[in-house]
Amino acid sequence: MNWTISVIFRAIPLLMGAVCLSYGLYILAGPDDANHFVAGHVNVGPTAICYALFTTAATIIRQLIDRYGRVWGIALPLSGYAAAAAAIAWGVVLANRENTAENLTAGFVVIGIGLVASCVSTVAAASTKFTLIQSAQRLDPLDGPPEGAHTRATGLVLITVPAAAAAAGFSLAAGLLLRGDTPGFVAGHVLIGLAVICTSLIALVASIVRQIRNAFSDSERLVWPWFVGAAGLVNLLLGLFVLLSSSEPYRLAPGCVLIGLGLICFSILSKVLLALVWRRTFALANRIPLMPIGTALTCLFFAAFLFEAAGTDPSFLVPAHVLVGLGAVCFTLFSIVSILEAGTSE
């Protein structure tokens, strides 16, 4: 990877983060109503995810171009966790600031976004020894991990982080759904979708850690992609169920957003699919980065139709705005997948 390409791939997550932040603030500066309040805050939230993806990109790229030191190995993942913690704290403040439907909805969704950002930051932490994947591939499976690889205990801790985030997301979602009111229904279903994304990131962290440790088995080459694909399908089907099981207008936002969150899972799937090149040649590996581009365009085209529908029904306003932010996250994943493909193919 040459220096110019490395700069572009590191700039994409920061640029998409700036888009999410500026777009969210622009929405908040508009009409002072509940729809713009929720849409604005939920669009600002993915800034934390984009920054966490930047830390992952920078962690891997700096190793590939031999500009990686101990300070970067600590500062990059730590700053990603700080961004995730800030999003969670901000969500807690929103949810408890006033007892209104828009505060509860926006607050808990931002908390879920912070949980996803913490999982992405764990991908950065797991990738601090990314270049050892090439060393591990040259070893026999019985030789054990290469020198300098993550210890077994460290690997378990890294895999536990997205698992804990997913458990926290599902627990919060259950509590919201048990409220039995409209804000609880909306926030609860979106939190389920975000928790499913955290679940899919278990596969990514585990595949990176186990490849670095030379513990990645042939069966995992198929198990993890199917696992993430199933997660995306869960979000997609749940979104369709929410949309089609009732004609109530409050179901439009969570249903459409769940479909968008399913597309993010399919973007993550493209990263996990790169495990197909583990000790093998996969002719289509350099085509895998096209998947996040397809999901990003799907989000944006879906948003375009929703914006048109919002002209006659304001219930479409929130999902139309949110899907723009989800499209930015999908496009950011294109950068990460391209970096992973370059790193694993060299």
Give residue 285's pLDDT band: very low, low, confident or very high (50, 70, 90).
Answer: low
Give residue 343's pLDDT band: very low, low, confident or very high (50, 70, 90).
Answer: low
Report which of 35, 158, 16, 206 is spatially closest to residue 106, judged by C-alpha positions.
Answer: 35
* Spatial contact of 145 and 136, defined as CB atoms under 8 Å apart: yes
Helix, strand, coil shares of the chain, percent, nearest 5, are 85, 0, 15
As given in the structure block, the two tokens for residue 270 are 């493209």
Give residue 2's pLDDT band: very low, low, confident or very high (50, 70, 90).
Answer: confident
Q: What is the mean pLDDT of residues 156-170?
A: 97
Asked if the model's pLDDT at residue 133 lies above 60, the reply is: yes
- Compute the distance between CA of residue 236 and CA of residue 130 in angstroms, rounded to an integer: 32
Least confident of 2-11, 118-127, 254-263: 2-11
Q: What is the predicted pLDDT for the residue at 125?
A: 96
Q: What is the mean pLDDT of residues 4-8?
A: 86
Q: What is the mean pLDDT of residues 167-179?
A: 96
* Spatial contact of 144 and 214, defined as CB atoms under 8 Å apart: yes
From residue 346, give the alpha-carbon distance in Å to each of 74, 131, 223, 281: 25, 10, 24, 12
Mean pLDDT rounded to a whole number for the chain: 91
User: What is the DSSP secondary-structure string of 194-241?
Assistant: HHHHHHHHHHHHHHHHHHHTT---TTHHHHHHHHHHHHHHHHHHHHHH
- Compute the distance between CA of residue 39 and CA of residue 255 in angstroms, rounded to an integer: 15
Asked if the model's pLDDT at residue 1 lies above 70, the reply is: no
Report which of 295, 270, 324 is spatially closest to residue 46, judged by C-alpha positions.
Answer: 324
Q: What is the predicted pLDDT for the residue at 135?
A: 81
Q: What is the predicted pLDDT for the residue at 265?
A: 95
Number of Cβ within 10 Å of residue 85's Cβ equals 15
Asked if the model's pLDDT at residue 279 lies above 70, the reply is: no
Convert the pLDDT of each residue in 187-196 to its tens digit: 999 999 999 9
Q: Which amino acid is at 68?
A: Y
* Spatial contact of 58 and 19, defined as CB atoms under 8 Å apart: no
- Compute the distance between CA of residue 206 and CA of residue 19 in angstroms, rounded to an integer: 30
Q: What is the predicted pLDDT for the residue at 5?
A: 83
Q: Which amino acid is at 247?
A: S
Number of Cβ within 10 Å of residue 178's Cβ equals 9
Q: What is the predicted pLDDT for the residue at 286?
A: 62
Asked if the model's pLDDT at residue 280 lies above 80, the reply is: no
Q: What is the mean pLDDT of residues 231-249?
A: 95
Q: What is the predicted pLDDT for the residue at 283?
A: 55
Give, to the nearest 10 degrees, the angle between helix 3-28 and helix 34-44: 160
